[in-house]
Chain A
Amino acid sequence: MTPDAHTLLEFKNVTRRFLLPQGEVTVIEDISFKALEGEFITIVGPSGAGKSTLLRMMNGLLAPSSGEVRYNGVTQKGINFETAMVFQNFGLLPWLTVSQNIELGLGARSKDAAYRKSQVNRYITKVGLEGYEEAYPRELSGGMKQRVGLARALAVEPSLLLMDEPFSSLDVLTSINLRNELLDIWSDRDNVVNTMIMVTHNIEEAIELSDRILILSNRPGKIAGELKVDLPRPRRKRDPLFSEYVDRVFSLLA
């Protein structure tokens, strides 16, 4: 990453509070950070630290209580159409087929039916779901469902891809495969999307995938530390340097 890389996303003193029955709770407190174009960032932290809240503010699903979220230097309001999101439990609509689910987001962006169709086909191929176009989500395995979720996000050709624990409801083998494919998509120059931000609770996953790890502290969520991962890809867990990174993340979490 060159130091003068373009800043895609910027959080400036962002705080988020929620009104709960037991009173007002601050989930995110005064967080500032930048995401550069082309970066792969992971966010780790204990459960309840506000990782998902942070991600939802990047997409615009949630607005900050104070502070601002800037995208390409512009303060964001409402849903950011330049981003797309992948969910832990896929968020697929059970009454739509695979193609219809993928086309859903395109409908908000393009009136051109032919373009939508070609995008759907392109990304169905990209995630390896050929032949399942007319299947319903309930007929698919977990891994395939997440491929649909990924294709739906990629099909709108976002410049920033947001992922909320995308592999945590999948079995180990499936998630290894999908992680590798995700890295391929990230490094593939043909794709519009080259910046990714992912929330995870799996520290090894964070080290394996990302350029930079943001570590959140618990309630209220603040950035407890930041770690650049300078390991050549593909990264191996057996590598002693890898274990060293694991230890450093753990020490930052504690």
Chain B
Amino acid sequence: MPLVQRSVLEKSKSSVIYLVLFTGLIFLLVGVYKGGVRLSELKADTVFLPDLPGAIFLSLMRMTAAYCASLVFAFTFGLLAARSATGERFILPVLDILQSVPVVGFFPAAITFFIGLTHGHRIGVELSAVFLIFTSQAWNIGFAVYESVKAIPVENEEAIMSLGLPQSQRFLNLYLPSSIPRVIYNSILSWSNGWFFLVACEIIAIGPVKYNLPGIGSFLARAAEEEKLNLVLWGIAALACTILLMDIFIWKPLQIWSERFRQDATANHDEEDIGIFLELPKTIASRLSFLTEPLLDILITFTAPVRWILREVILPLCWDLPVSMVSNLIEEVAKPIRPVLLNSKRMRVAIGYFALGFLAVLGMFYIWNWFKGPLPVVIRDIPVGLFRSTLRILIALLISFSWILPLVYLTWNRPRIRHHLTTLAQLGASIPATALFPLIVLVGVRKLGGGMELATLVLLTFGIQWYVLFNAIGGASSIPNDLIDATKSYGLNQWKTFWNLVFPAIRPALITGAITAWGGGWNALVVSEYITVKSEVYRVEGLGALLSYAVYDLGEGRAITLCILVMVAWILFVNLLIWQPLYHQNLERFKLSS
């Protein structure tokens, strides 16, 4: 289940300005690919049950590689954004845009770059799969690093600076530890996001080219395609077990460990309550601490020499030395023009606008050239598709609200029931909804004849209801006790209490849930509006289906570009004009300062 906690909301104002930049980016991603790369296919054999352990292992390896790349990316750009004003101005909007581009939108880039570069070798296909998973994991960790570094108390930073430590030591002693709690929290989200899109990432197809990589994602998709229902069920069970085990043995111990890196002693309750945190694994993890803790100690002892070399030799040589050389060089070069640059703010602004304008003109010219020929017919369907997809997400949101609000009404003052409910919901949410998609299509559409429109709606609701649920539960559990006592003391009945206290109190949380669902919904939509089972395409009319069609069947760069552009612009537009004002208005009126 994707839970990109960081909403597009806050930073979307500047994002609009950078839509120009974004256009250029898309052209870089898609432009090079013009359907010319035709490569031999990796032949897919039929799936058998014994393939399952290997598939799980390979998928895990891919996820780990993508996660490591995400960490490097996140720390590089998160730190750059947090430490320099210019970096902040450029990196944040770009990150914001990137996180609203659906994973499928990165296909052309992946194909062109990695597979083209290795001439269709297996390594190239693997690399592009890793890259695609990376695009579902990296952005929110980048925001996590940025926010953590921004939240460091000024005095702590000054203290480190005043001691004159070199940059790498400042990183090791201050920026890295400060980022750990948020990075771990976001890593958990990123991993569930990665699992969610694994199905899409292991079957890389663009136009006539299609690659199947052995892994749990393609296992599920192919089992469904061959209509082997029992294999689909086995696959889902194996995936759920893997996720649960990782949660118990890796994420929960890491999360407990990360508490010591908080600046203040009190934990952030937003992060505690909302999310995929299974209470059950947490208890199991703390029961198992007699096992995991010595293991951690052994690990720490054995890596000590490595860490020493890293700290004393590699970092000073590979980081501090080049940095000081480059900054000295810049100092020398910039000396003559420095007074002009420093003293005239207008000059810098002018240079900035000139550069932006130049890029925009260049982009326009490029677009003009690219779109000169006759356009593919599919783009005529974009407006209708956009409307229908938006409607679909809104209906899915309505469905979610229609069962979650009564649930909150029944459980808000019964902590025990709510606790069990949360555990149950977290178990459900930990299974990536995409894994269920083939099952729903197989059973719902093919066997029961329920129709694809309904199936899409079910899939979509499965993908986004958790955002609303966890936010609602989190909101309800943070209502201060004295307010509850006050309403009780006046003898308000259950309904009146709910209407006068609980509902207003959880409104900001509900809106947050809706906003996150809106952003994540589009991403889920691309996967759920268009599914191939038994070489038969099941699709509904919608922007997500259009994009999938443009990528999988047409392989037409301009159609892909237009679909992504319209989608991202629409997401940001609605955020800016509807969600953001709504959120702020509600926060102001219904904030509980406790």
Binding site for B on A (CB under 8 A): 19, 56, 59-61, 78-79, 81, 83-85, 87-96, 104-105, 107-109, 136, 138, 149, 152, 156
Contacts and interface: CB of A to CB of B under 8 A. Distances in A.
B162 A85 contact: yes
Nearest to A59: B162
B259 to A, nearest CB: 10
24 contacts: A19-B345, A59-B162, A79-B161, A79-B163, A81-B164, A84-B162, A84-B163, A87-B155, A89-B155, A90-B155, A91-B153, A91-B158, A91-B160, A93-B156, A93-B173, A93-B177, A95-B177, A95-B261, A104-B163, A104-B173, A108-B164, A108-B165, A136-B260, A149-B159
Contacts of A109: 164
Nearest to B174: A93
B377 interface: no
B155 A105 contact: no
A96 B174 CA distance: 10
Contact of B173 (A87, A90, A96, A138): A96
B176 to A, nearest CB: 10
B262 interface: yes
Contacts of A91: 153, 155-156, 158-160
Nearest to B85: A19
Contacts of B155: 87-91
Interface of B: 153, 155-156, 158-166, 169, 173-174, 177, 260-263, 265, 345
B164 A87 contact: no
Contact of A108 (B159, B169, B177, B345): B169
B159 A87 contact: yes
A138 B261 CA distance: 11
A107 B164 CA distance: 10
A138 B265 contact: yes
Q: Which of A19, A61, A89, A91 has the most CB of B within 10 A?
A: A91
Contact of B164 (A79, A93, A95, A96): A79
Nearest to B312: A111
> Sorted from nearest, which 10 A-B pairs have the closest CB atoms?
A91-B159, A105-B163, A79-B164, A91-B155, A85-B162, A108-B165, A87-B155, A95-B177, A108-B164, A89-B155
A152 B173 CA distance: 15
B162 A79 contact: yes
Given A19-B345, A95-B177, A95-B261, A89 B153 contact: yes
A65 to B, nearest CB: 9
Contacts of B262: 94
B158 A56 contact: yes
Given A87-B155, A136-B260, 12 more contacts: A19-B345, A59-B162, A60-B162, A78-B164, A79-B164, A84-B163, A91-B159, A91-B160, A95-B177, A105-B163, A107-B165, A108-B164
Nearest to A87: B155
A104 B158 contact: no
Contact of B160 (A81, A83, A104): A104
A94 B261 contact: yes
Nearest to B156: A91
A59 B164 CA distance: 10
A61 B169 contact: no
A111 B169 CA distance: 13
A200 B180 CA distance: 35
Contacts of A60: 162
Nearest to B331: A77
Contacts of B260: 94-95, 136
Contact of B159 (A85, A94, A95): A85
Contacts of B261: 94-95
Contacts of B177: 93, 95
Contact of A61 (B162, B174, B265, B345): B162
Nearest to B265: A138
Contact of B166 (A92, A95, A108): A108
Contacts of B158: 56, 61, 85, 87, 91
Contacts of A87: 155, 158-159
A94 B174 CA distance: 10
B28 to A, nearest CB: 34
Contacts of A93: 156, 159-160, 173-174, 177
B343 to A, nearest CB: 10
A194 B548 CA distance: 73
A206 to B, nearest CB: 22
A136 B264 CA distance: 12
Nearest to A65: B342
A76 to B, nearest CB: 12
Nearest to A149: B159
Most buried by A among B153, B155, B159: B159
Nearest to A106: B163
Nearest to A80: B164
A89 B155 CA distance: 7
B254 to A, nearest CB: 15
B346 to A, nearest CB: 12
Contacts of B345: 19
A163 to B, nearest CB: 12
Nearest to B180: A95
A156 B162 CA distance: 11
Nearest to A96: B173
Contacts of A85: 158-159, 162
B170 to A, nearest CB: 10
Nearest to A78: B164
A84 B557 CA distance: 60
Nearest to A100: B173
A40 B231 CA distance: 80
A78 B161 CA distance: 10
A68 to B, nearest CB: 16
Nearest to A94: B263
Contacts of B160: 91, 93, 104
A62 to B, nearest CB: 10
A106 B159 CA distance: 13
